[in-house]
Structure 1
Amino acid sequence: MHLVAQIVTALVALIHVYIVLLETVLFGTRGRRVFGLSKEQAEVLRPAMSNQGCYNGFLVAALCVGWLHPDAGTGAAFTIFGLCCVAVAGIWGTLTVKRSILFIQTVPAVLALALRALA
């Protein structure tokens, strides 16, 4: 069960790496299409999306510290913190932006947390 929890956590991290790229480096091209924005809308939103991408990068960082930290307890704390932050951010995004965020962010994070609890 622990291996499955690690795999789902890795999936959450990879989803967020992709989100970081969409909101920063790829925002003017692929990101704009994914978010359904016109070129004009994207230019107005670019600074805010870049900032949002930075925050998503911190979520990835927390999950990575969880894997890499030499102390298992500290690593677990970082992983749980990161997954909880992803879940809360996903709920907020669902309420304020788009319903599909619930399934893209929150469900995988909650699944990873549940699997960790069962491991």
Structure 2
Amino acid sequence: MHEIASIITAIVALEHIYILWMEMFAWETAGKKAFGKSLDHQLFKPTKALAANQGLYNGFLAAGLIWTFFIENPEWSQNIRLFFLGCVAIAGIYGAITASKKIFFIQALPALLAILFIILSNT
């Protein structure tokens, strides 16, 4: 179970690195492909700085998750991993409620699965 939790955590971290890139550096191209159905195409240029700010926050989430792989104390690693996965899950749930249901499946569900496997690995 621990290995599965680690793999899913790594996938969540990689996903947030991608989101960082898309929102900070490719908002008007990849961002338009990802959000073009729910956001007017005229809004991508004026919201570029806002998207970059969001991307930076996603980068912090990814950095926190990646950091957990380098913490030698297993208890601290797990607790910090749960914290960052919880942040991702809450952000994904909020995004699903306020923006698009798709965000739940892309962002929140993988984080919730990682949390579940962490809990199962401790039983």
TM-score (norm 2): 0.90
| Structure 1 position 59 matched with structure 2 position 61 | yes
| Structure 1 position 25 matched with structure 2 position 38 | no
Alignment of structure 1 residues 13-92 onto 2, 5 Å: 13-36=13-36, 37-38=40-41, 40-92=42-94
SS of 2:45's partner is helix
Deviation at 1:44, TM superposition (A): 1.2
Give the CA RMSD over aligned residues: 1.1
**Pairing partner for 2:102 from 95, 100, 103:** 100
Q: Deviations over 1:34-82 (max 9, x none)?
A: 11052x3111111111111011111101101111122222221221111
SS of 2:93's partner is helix
SS of 2:31's partner is helix
Determine if contact 1:62/1:81 at 8 Å carries over to the other structure: no
Determine if contact 1:87/1:109 at 8 Å carries over to the other structure: yes
Letter of the structure 1 residue corresponding to residue 118 of structure 2 = R
CA distance in 2, matches of 1:54, 1:82: 15
CA distance in 1, matches of 2:80, 2:66: 8
The share of aligned pairs that are identical, in percent, is: 39
How many correspondences in the alignment?
118
**Pairing partner for 1:110 from 88, 103, 112:** 112
Moved more, 22-31 or 48-57: 22-31
CA distance in 2, matches of 1:100, 1:4: 24
Determine if contact 1:2/1:115 at 8 Å carries over to the other structure: yes
CA distance in 2, matches of 1:55, 1:112: 20
CA distance in 2, matches of 1:46, 1:9: 28
Name 1:10's counterpart in structure 2. Answer: 10
| Structure with greater proportional helix content | 1
CA distance in 1, matches of 2:77, 2:4: 17
Any unmatched runs of 5+ in structure 2? none
